[in-house]
Amino acid sequence: MAARTLRIGLIPGDGIGKEVIPAGRRLLEALPSSLNLKFEFVDLKAGFETFEQTGAALPDKTVEILKTECDGALFGAVSSPSTAVKGYSSPIVALRKRLDLYANVRPVKSVMTAKNPIDMVIVRENTEDLYVKEEKTFDGPDGKVAEAIKRISYKASFRIAKMAGEIALRRQKIRDSGAPSIHKSPMVTVTHKSNVLSQTDGLFRATAREALADPRFKTVDVEEQIVDSMVYKLFRQPETYDVIVAPNLYGDILSDGAAALVGSLGLVPSANVGEGFAIGEPCHGSAPDIMGKNIANPIATLRSVALMLEFMDEEAAAAKIYAAVDGNLEEGKLLSPDLGGSATTTQVLEDILGRL
């Protein structure tokens, strides 16, 4: 069978993005040939440095090439200047809009040998809710009043819940292929606050239920939880959760909270996903405090590579990467400084490549 060729856009961005994205590329190049995959790479620009050089944080050419030539992409990080800079706005936010990457997917996983292992993924709606940014301030009878619109639509709620269901099935497929896990069967938890917001969160809840009632998802357990009690349980019994689906704001808060459960930002991957296209992105920022020292933990990026491959239906390749990363963490001999070790970015990468 001819090898499948995948063309990957590489957007290192700023800071440690320039160190971890090359590690991601090397990982793809090192995948065993038995997987029958070939990769081509396109170097693309975005970020604050790009803005300073060209006047655009996200050059049109980057978007065009991603749209027309790439099967997927990896995004490093961009620095956010501490004071507003005229004309500069986050290129990843713009990229999500322009490519309609409507889901932010964030797996949070410990090693299975941890005392209380966890293995969950948060699927966050990324286009609406309070983030439509329609705010206004006016003078009320007792002083200033500010209001913001919370917009929830059937369309966005349906597609995000459907994606959560698909992710649950895919995670089960990876488990069935022998990957160790704490979960036996797929489950999706729908998060909302419809006891208070009966119309907006009520629509999200009902629509998510409808989407997940599709016979395709008959093996998926669907449960729901009010967001506040969910936070409590997330911290007390994180091992309960498999796939969590949430509207934008709750998803934002839950995903940062859940990331704290596993120790370092340097471990947590994410993917920005739309119809048939995914951009893998480590959850951390550009980390200017450690840039240029070759000590950034590359694992968040390596796991983002695996996540991107999952969305390309390359589960076997993804499973190999997850296992190699877990092997490194479980052995614990070559860890980067954020995890208490003294290994360099390159040493951690080499160790993981050796385990493929």
Residues near Mg ion (CB under 5 A) are 285
- CA–CA distance, 237 with 183 (Å, rounded to integer): 13
CB 272 to Mg ion: min, Å: 17
DSSP classification of residue 151: B
What DSSP element (H or E) covers 159? helix 154-176
Q: CB nearer to ligand ATP: give 248 or 286.
A: 286
Residue whose Cβ sits closest to ligand ATP: 285
Q: Quick one: which of 46, 53, 106 has its CA closest to 78?
A: 46
CA 88/CA 84 separation, integer angstroms: 8
Q: Residue 22 binds which one of Mg ion, ligand ATP, none, with CB within 5 to 8 A depending on kind?
A: none
User: Residue 172 touches which of Mg ion, ligand ATP, none (CB < 5 to 8 A by kind)?
Assistant: none
Comparison of 117 and 285: residue with beta carbon closer to Mg ion: 285
Q: What does the alpha-carbon distance between residue 163 and residue 168 come to, in Å, rounded to a whole number?
A: 9
**Whose Cβ is closer to ligand ATP: residue 62's or residue 336's?**
336
Look at residue 297 and give the partner it binds from ligand ATP, Mg ion, none, a contact being a CB closer than 5 to 8 Å depending on partner kind.
ligand ATP
Asked if 207 and 190 count as a contact pair (C-beta separation under 8 A), the reply is: no
Which residues are at the interface with ligand ATP (CB under 6 A)?
Answer: 15-16, 77, 79-80, 265-266, 284-290, 296-297, 300, 336, 338
Q: Considering beta carbons, is residue 104 or 297 the nearer one to ligand ATP?
A: 297
Beta 277-280 vs 271-274: how paired, if at all?
A: antiparallel
272: left (phi over 0), alpha (psi -120 to 50) or beta: beta
Nearest to 160 by CA among 197, 218, 121, 195: 121
Run of H or E including 278:
strand 277-280
Q: Tell the smallest beta-carbon distance from residue 15 to ligand ATP (Å).
A: 6
User: Are 209 and 176 within 8 A, CB to CB?
Assistant: no
Judged by beta carbon, residue 118 or residue 259, the one nearer ligand ATP is 259
The set of residues, in sequence order, having a beta carbon less than 8 Å from that of 240 and lying 6+ positions away, is: 233
Residue 338: contacted member of ligand ATP, Mg ion, none (CB under 5 to 8 Å, by partner type):
ligand ATP
Partner whose footprint covers residue 289, from ligand ATP, Mg ion, none (CB < 5 to 8 Å by kind): ligand ATP
> Of 201 and 338, which CB lies nearer to ligand ATP in the complex structure?
338
Q: How far is the CB of 287 from Mg ion (least distance, A)?
A: 8
Taking the complex as a whole, the smallest distance from the CB of residue 250 to ligand ATP amounts, in Å, to 21
Residue number with CB closer to ligand ATP (15 or 59): 15
Q: How far is the CB of 284 from Mg ion (least distance, A)?
A: 7
The rounded Cα 307 to chain-centroid distance in angstroms is 8
Which of Mg ion, ligand ATP, none sits in contact with 332, Cβ below 5 to 8 A by type? none
Provide, rounded to whole angstroms, the least separation between the CB of residue 94 and ligand ATP.
Answer: 16
Q: Select the residue whose beta carbon is closest to Mg ion and give its number.
A: 285
Nearer to ligand ATP, 159 or 284 (CB): 284
User: Which does residue 265 bind out of ligand ATP, Mg ion, none, counting CB within 5 to 8 angstroms by kind?
Assistant: ligand ATP
The number of beta carbons lying within 10 Å of the beta carbon of residue 157 is 28
- Give phi and psi for 187, each to the nearest 5: -140, 140
User: What is the full DSSP assignment across 123-142?
Assistant: EEE-S-BGGG--EEEEEETT
